[in-house]
Structure 1
Amino acid sequence: MKVETVLVTGGSGFLGGGLLRHLALCGRYSLVAALRRECNELPQSIRRFMYADLAAYVDWQNALNHVDVVVHSAARVHVMAESAADPVAEFRRVNVEATLNLARQAAEAGVKRFIYLSSIKVNGEFTQPGCAFAADDAPDPVDPYGISKLEAELALKDLALATGMEVVIIRPVLVYGVGVKANFLNMIRWLQRGVPLPFGAVNNKRSLVSLENLIDFIVTCIEHPAAANQTFLVSDGHDVSTTELLRSLAKAMNSPTILLPLPVSLMSVVAKLLGKGAVAQRIFGSLEVDITKNQRVLGWVPPVSFRSAIDSTVKPFLDVRKK
Structure 2
Amino acid sequence: MSVRALVVDPSAPAAVRYAEVPDPVAGPGQVLVDISHVSLNYGDLNDARSGRVPAGAVLGSDAAGVVVQAASDGTGPAVGTRVVALTSGAFAERVAIDVGALAEVPETVDLAVAAALPVAGIAALRSLRAAGLASDTRVLVTGASGGVGRFAVQLAARAGAQVIASVGSAARGKGLVEIGAEEVLIGLAGLDRPVDVVIDSVGGPQLVAAWNLLAPGGHIQSVGWTSGEPAVFPPYATVGPAKSLASFVIEGDAGAELAVLAGLVAEEALAVEIGWLGSWEHFTEAAEALRGRRVSGKAVLAVRGNCRTRRR
Same fold? TM cut 0.5: no
Query: Quick check: which one's strand share is greater?
Result: 2
TM-score normalised by the chain length of structure 1: 0.33
